[in-house]
Every structure is written in structure tokens, then in C-alpha cells.
């Protein structure tokens, strides 16, 4: 389909082409659909996380206080909400929270969920195939020399713009797998340095993510002992992310947050290739139900999931096909073509999406630091950009009984120099308002 036909059939494509911020409401939201996964798949993943908890507690001391469970807090943002109201010249009537995946252990990002989970599953498969490990064993045994030696006969390969590389790379190398990360030109230098410090081989390419992942996939396919973590279509990544919903359900209960027709919950998720927000959204709908609504947030220069879903072409269209440059300061979202899973599974589960300009995420990085003393990376502040368009277009969501959750996807592992530079940029943009 050419550009003219796309614009005729889907008029908002014209706004995407012009890099104008938009709110897109999914016309298929809430319809019946046959999904490739079920609630049983989510609980299979929950059980695997629990089997590996003793291993994680032993190998990564930062998880010991949570007994090897990798989870992030749900933080109420009263001061940030007041500042948001001032900055956006609107009043958000309901409560505002941060789901702080920026504070997840090991890799400090949402990718700790899917990326680590996929490595755990591969390690379990290798161990089950070659040793007498049983499902009832204490999995901390996998940290012994015997297993490290076994895992050293296998490899793990992943392509990433940054955070998925950290989660997969650090954990795979810790098991003893030969671990190789393929990174695109938009990956941050500190992330490459961190990986190399953890014994991971980093291969850099001066091209965009879509080309890098093709190369990684080809190289991994040449050796049957190498496991490829496919950010464009992995079901294991997807289900690892979905487990977040089981944990969030309990956090909502603990904070006395109702979820029903009168008490809608809005969840704002940054989207790059679309795998992590799609996995989380699938989990939310399966575990929590119809009154929790997910909104994806993407840069105006790289609205890959929005474009794919809006046109129903999914991964068969790239932002480059409509003349966009794919450049954004939100490095975790710099993916020109969406995953094979994102659009298909989200067809009836995603409420809508919002696109934003980079300046806005820096402003929200500064606001969050000033009001709550919480630091996130620019990509992770994307959720704050979606609140205004959503409550403006759907007034029913701007009530005292509504709850708004911004999913902060990363940032804890940033070097101090990055934190300071991001904050100062946001501060200077706020001063210019």
C-alpha cells in the first residue's frame, strides 16, 4: 500500500508523517479474539520464576531481600501529580502512580522481566536435558561449578538498543553461557561498557535495530548450541513480561485501589519494538480484567507500533516507509519496525496509543526528580506524555475514582553523568516554557 492510499484509508498516518503528536484510539479494542496465549501460560511463567528464586537470591545479592523475586514498587506520586497539573495546565482528577520498573534488580529496567525470564527458561532446558535436575530441586544448585561448566558449552545471542541487552547479557554470562550482544547505533556507551565489564561480547553496528536483529538472528542460527533471544517475536520474552500483572494485582489490592467499571485504571507503557508493553498488557487483561486499560507511548520520530496497528500492517510496515528518520533521544524506543507479536496480540487488547516529542520526556525526567526524587531514563518518562491526550479525548477517565499508572521502564543503572545531563536538559526545557 503506497503512502497516498495509507493516508486516504487512515487519515492519522498524515500526522505521523508530519511528526505531529497524536492520540490514536484503537477501533478494535474490547472485541472478541482468539489469542495465542492463555492465563495458564502466565502461571507457568510464574512457577518458573519461583523455581529460580533460590538461584537468583544466591547469585544476585540485590535480590536476596525479596528472596529472589524480581519485582518493583508501585509508588504514589502526589507531588508529581501537582506539578503535572501545573505544567500541563490540566487537572488530573484521579490518583497518579509510578510502576517503578526503573528500580528492578539486576538490569534496572522492565527488560529484567522478559529478558531474564527467557535466559532462565533456556538454562532450565539445558540442565534438564543433561543432568538429573528435577522441578522440585533447590535451583541454587545451578550456581555450582558443575553447572557453570555445562552452560559454558552453550551460547546466548541477543540484539538490542540497550536495556534488553543488559538483562539478557548480565544473567546469561552469570550462568556461564557464552553471551554475545549485537547493538545498534543508538545504544548508549555506558550500556556497552557495563556489558563488557560483565564478560559479555558486544558487537556494534552503525545501522538501525531492524538490520542488527536480522544479522544476529542469522549468526545465531548457524550453531544449534546458541539460543537466540528474539525481541521481534519471542513468546518467552512475552510471557516473562506478562507475569508483572500477577504482581501488580496484589499491589493494587495492598493500596486499596479498586478496578471495576466505576474505578477504571489507566496504564501508560513506553513502546519500542512493542514486546514488553504487549506482554504486560496481555497479562493485565487476563489477570485483572476489562477495566484496566493500556495506552502505548512512542516518539513522533519512531511510532512503529502505532503505525503497524493503525494500518493493520503490523510488522509489515516500518516508520522509514512513511519517510520518518527513526531518530529519538529515547534510545530504548528507537525501533523502526514493531515485533511480530505486538500488533497481532494487541489488536483487541490495546486501548490506544500516544506519540510525543523528545523535549517532553526530558521535562518529565526533571519534574519527577524535583518532586519525588526519583530518577528515570528519558524513555521511561514517556508515560507522563500520554495522560493529557487520554483524559482530553476520554473525559470519563478523568474522574476522582480513576487511577493512572505510569510504567517507568528503566534508569536505575545510569551513570551519574547521564543522570545529571538528562536532568539539566529537562530543567532547561522547563525554564523555556
CB atoms within 10 A of CB 69: 15
- Please, what is the end-to-end C-alpha distance for the chain in angstroms? 40
Domains 3-37+65-107+238-431 and 110-234 share a fold: yes
- What pLDDT sits at residue 207? 87
Which string of DSSP letters, residue by residue, matches 328-382? -S-GGG--SS--TTHHHHHTTTEEEEEEE-HHHHHHHHHHHHHHH-----GGGGT
CATH number, span 3-37+65-107+238-431: 3.40.50.1100
Torsion of CA 219, 129, 172, 199, to 10 degrees: -80
| 202 secondary structure, DSSP code | E
Reported as a single tens digit per residue, the pLDDT across 363-409 is: 999 999 999 999 999 999 999 999 999 999 999 999 999 999 999 99
Sheet holding 23-25, edge to edge: 23-25, 350-356, 292-299, 265-270, 403-408, 95-100, 74-76
How many beta carbons lie within 10 A of that of residue 64, not counting itself? 13
Question: In this structure, what DSSP letter does residue 105 have?
Answer: T
* Topology, domain 110-234: Rossmann fold (3.40.50)
Domain boundaries, the chain: 3-37+65-107+238-431, 110-234
Tens digit of each residue's pLDDT (9 = 90 or more) over 240-270: 999 999 999 999 999 999 999 999 999 999 9
Per-residue confidence (pLDDT) for residue 412, from 0 to 100: 92
Q: What is the pLDDT of residues 68-100, one digit of tens each?
A: 999 999 999 999 999 999 999 999 999 999 999
The predicted model scores a pTM of 0.96
Amino acid at each position: 500500500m503506497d503512502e497516498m492510499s495509507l493516508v486516504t484509508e487512515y487519515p492519522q498516518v498524515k500526522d505521523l508523517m508530519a511528526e505531529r503528536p497524536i492520540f490514536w484510539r484503537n477501533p478494535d479494542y474490547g472485541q472478541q479474539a482468539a489469542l495465542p496465549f492463555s492465563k495458564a501460560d502466565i502461571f507457568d511463567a510464574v512457577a518458573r520464576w519461583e523455581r529460580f528464586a533460590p538461584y537468583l537470591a544466591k547469585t544476585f545479592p540485590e535480590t536476596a531481600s525479596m528472596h529472589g523475586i524480581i519485582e518493583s514498587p508501585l509508588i504514589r506520586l502526589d507531588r508529581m501529580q501537582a506539578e503535572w497539573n501545573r505544567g500541563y495546565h490540566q487537572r488530573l482528577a484521579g490518583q497518579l502512580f509510578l510502576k517503578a520498573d526503573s528500580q528492578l534488580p539486576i538490569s534496572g529496567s522492565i527488560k529484567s522481566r522478559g529478558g531474564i525470564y527467557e535466559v532462565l527458561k533456556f538454562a532450565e532446558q539445558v540442565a534438564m536435558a543433561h543432568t538429573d535436575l528435577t522441578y522440585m530441586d533447590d535451583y541454587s544448585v545451578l550456581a555450582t561449578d558443575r553447572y557453570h561448566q555445562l552452560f559454558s558449552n552453550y551460547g546466548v545471542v541477543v540484539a538490542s538498543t540497550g536495556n534488553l541487552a543488559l538483562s539478557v547479557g548480565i544473567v546469561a554470562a552469570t550462568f556461564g553461557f557464552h553471551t554475545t550482544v549485537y547493538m545498534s547505533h543508538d545504544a548508549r556507551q555506558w550500556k556497552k561498557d557495563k556489558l563488557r565489564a560483565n564478560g559479555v561480547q558486544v558487537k556494534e553496528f552503525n545501522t538501525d535495530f531492524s538490520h542488527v536483529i536480522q544479522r544476529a538472528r542469522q549468526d545465531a542460527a548457524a550453531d544449534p548450541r546458541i539460543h537466540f533471544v528474539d525481541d521481534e517475536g519471542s513468546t518467552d520474552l512475552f510471557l516473562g513480561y506478562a507475569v508483572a500483572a500477577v504482581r501488580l494485582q496484589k499491589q493494587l489490592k495492598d493500596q486499596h485501589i479498586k478496578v471495576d467499571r466505576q474505578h477504571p485504571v489507566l496504564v501508560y507503557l513506553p513502546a519500542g519494538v512493542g514486546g514488553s508493553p504487549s506482554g504486560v498488557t496481555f497479562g493485565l487483561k487476563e489477570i485483572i480484567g476489562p477495566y484496566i486499560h493500556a495506552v502505548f507511548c512512542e516518539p513522533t520520530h519512531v511510532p512503529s507500533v502505532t503505525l503497524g496497528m493503525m494500518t493493520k500492517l503490523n510488522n509489515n510496515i516500518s516508520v522509514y516507509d512513511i519517510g520518518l528518520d527513526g531518530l529519538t533521544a529515547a534510545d530504548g524506543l528507537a525501533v523502526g519496525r514493531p515485533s511480530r507479536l505486538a500488533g497481532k496480540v494487541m489488536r483487541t487488547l490495546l486501548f490506544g496509543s500516544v506519540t510525543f516529542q523528545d523535549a517532553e520526556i526530558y521535562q518529565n525526567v526533571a519534574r519527577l526528580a524535583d518532586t519525588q526524587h526519583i530518577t528515570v531514563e528519558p524513555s521511561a518518562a514517556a508515560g507522563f506524555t500520554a495522560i493529557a491526550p487520554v483524559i482530553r479525548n476520554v473525559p470519563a477517565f478523568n474522574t476522582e475514582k480513576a487511577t493512572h499508572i505510569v510504567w517507568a521502564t528503566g534508569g536505575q543503572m545510569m551513570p551519574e553523568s547521564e543522570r545529571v545531563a538528562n536532568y539539566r536538559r529537562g530543567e532547561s526545557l522547563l525554564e523555556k516554557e
